[in-house]
């Protein structure tokens, strides 16, 4: 059985953008395939500590797992939920892969260049995390790794490391699918970019300082509705889906479509030509408030115990699979 693997960093509360653009599509994908694939959902807590964490990391981790469940993730025996740091093989394989990867290819990672800003004070984890990510994937022979486009380069790096390793030692790792095939497999995940409410030419990001730019999943629904009402639009006074010239309005249509589960085309047909932006804003604000109310109610129903039970099972599974793969790798290097 092939494996689909995904993780989302738990450094803070997630935004509506993270939810609609990453979590919901992932949950749909998992539910669609969990009869025929292993679905590995892990919390990359070792990746979290390469940058600041808001609040308590352990609490954030539990909350992130609850997000998946509240988003509708269906649990069966093929769905495995685990924390990266509870499976020590990740760190071990990362070290071994460090000795396979080159400075040249790792230095070329755009994420590293962006995050380090060329400063020598940048921590080594920021440089090395793509190698840890390769270990996260290769330990489980994962074929599909649904992630955003900012991570595609890391998939290519993972593929190169796996192929180099296999050339030297034999077929030990499954080479993950090419990014083009990853995109095809993800289908719905393509191109969803919720925009910043105040500066709609940018995407909504949890690290943006301005509160009114973003909707957090734990926002009070009425407060979230107000943020939508005060979202930046334009002075054209005519609703049209045009991300280039009318990004604010287009963003509202996009959000409306995703929260109501209505195809974007249908939402556009319904609203195109409307001259009162306030009417559209109100409809989106109501929808967002309702979505948050329902989501938060589901979150409240999920107990910590439920999460720990899933983790116990998932971590037992993950350690078995990962340790078996690690042993093969150790043997290849005559460490065992
Ligand atoms: P940060 O500001 O810390 O970079 P972020 O909000 O950009 O936070 P990430 O942790 O970088 O979130 O990404 C988590 C996941 O959410 C990724 O899969 C990413 O593609 C997706 N994502 C992030 N922002 C958006 C958005 N505005 N719309 C849709 N998907 C998004
Ligand atoms: Mg980001």
Q: Write the pLDDT tens digit of every residue in 50-68.
A: 999 989 999 999 999 999 9
115 lines ligand 1 (CB under 6 A): no
203 lines ligand 1 (CB under 6 A): yes
Starting from the CA of residue 8, give the closest ligand: 1
User: How would residue 151 be classed by pLDDT, with cut points 50, 70 and 90?
Assistant: confident
- pLDDT, one tens digit per residue, over 280-289 is 999 999 999 9
205 lines ligand 1 (CB under 6 A): yes
17 lines ligand 1 (CB under 6 A): yes
Alpha-carbon distance of 173 to 167, in angstroms, equals: 10
Alpha-carbon distance of 254 to 134, in angstroms, equals: 33
Domains observed in the chain: 3-187+304-332 (3.40.50.620), 211-299 (1.10.240.10)
Active-site residue set: 115, 203, 206
Helix (H, G, I), strand (E, B) or coil at 233: coil
- pLDDT, one tens digit per residue, over 63-112 is 999 999 999 999 999 999 999 999 999 999 999 999 999 999 999 999 89
215 lines ligand 1 (CB under 6 A): no
- Retrieve residue 258's tokens: 């995703």
User: How would residue 183 be classed by pLDDT, with cut points 50, 70 and 90?
Assistant: confident
Alpha-carbon distance of 104 to 14, in angstroms, equals: 34
Choose the residue to mutate in 6, 7, 18 for probing ligand 1, maximizing ligand atoms within 8 Å of C-beta.
18
Burial of 191 (0-12, 13-18, 19+ CB in 10 A): exposed
Q: Whose CA is nearest to atom 10 of ligand 1?
A: 9
9 lines ligand 1 (CB under 6 A): yes
- Retrieve residue 219's tokens: 């926002």
Name the average pLDDT for the chain.
Answer: 95
- Retrieve residue 274's tokens: 């409307």
Choose the residue to mutate in 193, 205, 251 for probing ligand 1, maximizing ligand atoms within 8 Å of C-beta.
205
Contacts 24+ apart (CB under 8 A), 268-277: 268/241, 271/239, 272/239, 272/240, 272/241, 273/238, 273/239, 273/240, 274/238, 274/239, 275/237, 275/238, 275/239, 277/233, 277/237, 277/239, 277/249
- pLDDT, one tens digit per residue, over 204-225 is 998 899 999 999 999 999 999 9
Nearest atom in ligand 1 to 18's CA = 16
Distance 197 CA to ligand 1 centre (A): 15
Q: Whose CA is nearest to atom 14 of ligand 1?
A: 18
204 lines ligand 1 (CB under 6 A): yes
Closest to 42 (Cα-Cα) out of 81, 9, 70, 14: 81
Sign of CA dihedral 28, 31, 34, 39: positive
Nearest atom in ligand 1 to 20's CA = 29
């Amino acid at each position: 059985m092939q494996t689909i693997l995904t993780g989302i960093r738990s450094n803070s509360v997630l935004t509506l953008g993270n939810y609609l653009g990453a979590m919901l599509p992932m949950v749909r994908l998992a539910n669609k395939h969990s009869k025929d694939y292993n679905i590995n959902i892990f919390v990359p807590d070792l990746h979290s500590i390469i940058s600041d964490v808001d609040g308590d990391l352990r609490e954030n981790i539990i909350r992130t797992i609850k997000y998946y469940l509240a988003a509708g993730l269906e649990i069966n025996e093929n769905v495995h939920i685990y924390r990266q740091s509870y499976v020590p093989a990740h760190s071990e394989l990362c070290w071994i892969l460090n000795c396979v990867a080159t400075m040249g290819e790792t230095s070329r990672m755009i994420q590293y260049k962006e995050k380090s800003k060329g400063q020598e004070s940048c921590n080594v984890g920021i440089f090395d995390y793509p190698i840890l990510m390769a270990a996260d994937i290769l330990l489980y022979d994962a074929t599909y790794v649904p992630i955003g486009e900012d991570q595609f380069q890391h998939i290519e790096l993972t593929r190169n490391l796996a192929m180099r390793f296999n050339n030297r030692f034999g077929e030990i790792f499954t080479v993950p699918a090419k990014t083009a095939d990853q995109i095809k497999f993800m289908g719905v995940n393509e191109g969803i970019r919720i925009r910043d409410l105040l500066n709609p030419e940018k995407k909504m990001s949890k690290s943006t300082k301005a509160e009114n730019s973003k909707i957090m999943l734990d926002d009070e629904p009425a407060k979230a509705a107000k943020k939508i009402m005060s979202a930046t639009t334009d002075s054209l006074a005519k609703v049209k889906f045009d991300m280039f010239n009318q990004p604010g309005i287009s963003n509202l249509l996009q959000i409306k479509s995703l929260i109501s589960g209505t195809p974007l085309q249908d939402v556009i047909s319904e609203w195109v030509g409307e001259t009162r932006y306030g009417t559209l804003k109100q409809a989106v604000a109501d929808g967002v408030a309702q979505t948050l109310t329902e989501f938060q109610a589901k979150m409240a129903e999920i107990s910590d115990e439920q999460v720990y039970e899933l983790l116990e099972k998932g971590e037992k599974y993950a350690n078995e699979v990962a340790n078996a793969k690690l042993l093969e790798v150790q043997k290849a290097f005559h460490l065992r």
